[in-house]
Structure 1
Amino acid sequence: MEYRKLGKTGIEVSEIAFGAEFLVERPYEDTEELIRVCEDNGINFVDCWMSEPDVRSHLGNAIKDNRDNWVIQGHIGSTWQNGQYVRTREMDKVIPAFEDFMERFQIDTLDFGMIHYVDQIDDYDEIMNGPFIEYVRKLKDDGTIAHIGLSTHNPDIGLLAAENPEIELLMFSINPAFDMFGAMDDIEEYRKEGAYDNDLSSLNPQRAEIYELCQKNGTALTVMKGFAGGNLLSDETSPFGVALTPVQCIHYALSQKGVSSIFVGVRNPQELEESLRYCTATDDEKDYTEVLKNAPKHSFKGQCTYCGHCQPCRSGIDIAMVNKLFDLAKNHDEVPASIMEHYHNLKFNATNCIACGDCDERCPFEVSIVDVMLDAQDLFGFRL
């Protein structure tokens, strides 16, 4: 198992982490068995967003003897009401639900207190300007939580969180299917029948911008929905018309800038072992580019995915970044000032391209990178 630091916090966590979403209505023995497999294989990071009381109690009991070895993400705003999960910002529900979490996990300090599931701008604004964030700040001031995090599926929220120094960790849904979409304020949009029928043929540059911003600002970035709810693992349900392996999905997520760890949701030790194969997989087994390039539906052939296979550049250009900024800017009538500034602040930009063609030869998606550099020169102008 390899380990990475969580942004500026300096906390080291396993690249593969345990997402406990499938433990609802399962006996304690199942939880204990999975936790032991995690510990035996070096997994030291767990996320629990579930409010179902037994899940919390089972996880707390399973890790209590080795608590010092675990890093925990726990969610604030996930409640259990009338026998079911409810996301809420009502403080008379939020506070007892979080206190229940701490009691059932048998802990005094939570490593990351996660502002739970924020997918609407109005919700984000209400949280950040009301009693919810005041409560979270108090938890941190009191030492009940060590760090503040936030979970979202919406790139608009992701950008806001990555720019907010108070948010130390962003939990975001990252996989090659979701990465084709722009901002959505409802996770169900990704799952609707026909959601992928439109002309989705390239990664959304806004999402790539989030990953870059997290790395730049030292905001820890952790991954959920890495398998797109399992849809990517089957030819029948994959939006590409062909399945990826768990190893390829994990590699995709861990290859994005800023990412520290991916939470895998598994039902049993066998499924966990499939993900753990990543630790010993060959480069060929990890490679997802050929699958995406040759997919019968939504092939990325000819489209930059900002994967970095084109590097190194003889002129020192960050090719993926230039492509990303070009994609962000090209659909505007006028290049936004922020994008223009970012481009011209690059140490080397498209102006420095010598058209050697080395990058074209290395690109797995057959992007004409030299042509993009020329187009970027036309769009952005020459160095200021």
Structure 2
Amino acid sequence: MEYREIGKTGKQASVIGLGCEHLDGKSYDQVKETIDAALEHGVNLMDVFMPGTEVRENIAKALGNRRDQVMLQGHIGSTNLNMQYDISRDLPVVKRYFEELLKIFGYIDFGMMFFIDSEQDYKNVFETDFAAYVERLKQQGDIRHIGFSSHNPETAMKVIHTGVPEMMMFSINPAFDMLSSQASIFECLDHGFQSGAFNGIDPIRAELYKLCNQKQIGITVMKTYGGGKLLSPEHTPYSRPMTPPQCIHYALSRPAVASVLAGCKTRDEVSDTMSYLLAADTEKDYTWIYNEVHSVFQGNCVYCGHCQPCPSGIEIAAVNKYLDIARLDQEAVPPSIRSHYQSLLHGGDECVACGSCEERCPFGVPIIKNMMEAASLLGKGRTFPV
């Protein structure tokens, strides 16, 4: 395993960490198998954003007396209301869920202010007592460092300028920004992009990376594979799918990045991910994508779940996932996909078109339209309000 400093925290993180969200709902034996495999490979950073009690307890039990061998990212404001993951800034609710996390793990290494994407998210954190609560947690030693998670570079920069966070969790993959591996990242960021090293990179994201370097804000990476779409022959935005080593290498080559958090749920998946560490340079090379710059992720679901909760109880990411598969051949939808869709407690036909999901979505997915299409392709239709 290789290790990198996380900004100015003084902590060293394994360049590949474990995103534990896919362990949610799995048996204790499977959780322990995955945790054991990660530790055997030298992983020392894990993200536990999930607010469910069972998955938290399973992870803590699997770690056992090895708790101090890992650093945990625990998210402040991630809640589980009405059996659905949600974001809350209501302090009594926030405290209840985070203090349960503290009780289970003892302390949290990186207390992450959860999902600060919009101007309203920013105000709800920094113009209320929320941020003060987070700072008290650090003063008390309950958290060792303050971080935050975001998908929005403009908002992320605003958060960094407050001086409160020391690191952030951010979504990075080649579909979101494009930068030549042949270029000196730091030179380009310091002196501009006239050299042509940047091909289609969003200038705001480039400015965010520059700011992280200047302020020593360490980055841990989510969405490395773009919800799996970069690896999929059917859904890749490029002429061919990328490989996990290429995606990991891309993220690790971004400025200020310390660790890529891979979402593994079995020992085999951990081993497959760790093959990056032994991969040859040719296996990591992603330069072929530079002639294929696409912005296709805007408007496409990556199944992140930030659209939840749905007032009708619809599992929006699951509906979108089945819809994406159905779209590949609308005249021959696999029976298994139709069956999986129809086994959901609530389908797209129950959408009331309130729009709250679209307001939450970081990628501008036309969710209401998708729910209508899913109902048409996969299940019984209904009349949607205009």
Name the residue aligned to 2:157.
Answer: 159
What is the 5 A alignment of 1:1-384? 1-105=1-105, 107=106, 109-179=107-177, 202-290=200-288, 292-295=289-292, 298=294
Contact in 2 for aligned 1:171/1:221 (Cα 8 Å): yes
TM-score, normalised by the number of residues in structure 2: 0.69
Q: Structure 2 counterpart of 1:158, which letter?
A: A
Contact in 1 for aligned 2:88/2:94 (Cα 8 Å): yes
* CA shift digits 1:58-85 (9 cap, x unpaired): 1111113111110110000011223221
In structure 1, what is the Cα distance between the partners aligned to 2:176 and 2:108?
30
* Unpaired segments ≥5 residues, structure 2: 179-198, 296-386
In structure 2, what is the Cα distance between the partners aligned to 1:179 and 1:205?
9
How has the CA–CA distance of structure 1 residues 79 and 208 changed in structure 2, closer, same or farther, with 3 Å as cutoff? same
How far apart are 1:165 and its partner, in Å? 1.9
In structure 1, what is the Cα distance between the partners aligned to 2:265 and 2:137?
32
In structure 2, what is the Cα distance between the partners aligned to 1:288 and 1:163?
33
Q: How high is the sequence identity, in percent, across the aligned residues?
A: 42
Please, what is the CA RMSD of the aligned residues?
1.5
Q: Any idea what SS the aligned residue of 2:262 has?
A: strand
In structure 1, what is the Cα distance between the partners aligned to 2:156 and 2:78?
19
Q: Any idea what SS the aligned residue of 2:8 has?
A: helix
Contact in 1 for aligned 2:175/2:294 (Cα 8 Å): no
Ranges of 4+ aligned residues in structure 1 off by more than 3 Å: none
Name the residue aligned to 2:332.
Answer: none
* CA shift digits 1:214-267 (9 cap, x unpaired): 122111111111111111101211122421101000000000111100100123
How far apart are 1:141 and its partner, in Å? 1.2
Contact in 2 for aligned 1:247/1:274 (Cα 8 Å): no
Q: Structure 1 counterpart of 2:12, which letter?
A: E
Q: Structure 2 counterpart of 1:47, which letter?
A: D
In structure 1, what is the Cα distance between the partners aligned to 2:81 and 2:123?
25
Name the residue aligned to 2:370.
Answer: none
In structure 2, what is the Cα distance between the partners aligned to 1:167 and 1:84?
28
How far apart are 1:205 and its partner, in Å? 1.9
* Unpaired segments ≥5 residues, structure 1: 181-200, 300-384
Worse-matched range after superposition: 158-167 or 227-236: 158-167
* CA shift digits 1:18-53 (9 cap, x unpaired): 000111111011110011111111001000111111
How has the CA–CA distance of structure 1 residues 164 and 241 changed in structure 2, closer, same or farther, with 3 Å as cutoff? farther
In structure 2, what is the Cα distance between the partners aligned to 1:21 and 1:241?
30
Name the residue aligned to 2:334.
Answer: none
Q: Structure 2 counterpart of 1:136, which letter?
A: V
In structure 2, what is the Cα distance between the partners aligned to 1:62 and 1:208?
39
TM-score, normalised by the number of residues in structure 1: 0.69
How far apart are 1:294 and its partner, in Å? 4.7
Contact in 1 for aligned 2:245/2:279 (Cα 8 Å): yes
Q: Any idea what SS the aligned residue of 1:274 has?
A: helix
Q: Any idea what SS the aligned residue of 1:8 has?
A: coil
In structure 2, what is the Cα distance between the partners aligned to 1:84 and 1:287?
39
In structure 2, what is the Cα distance between the partners aligned to 1:253 and 1:5?
15
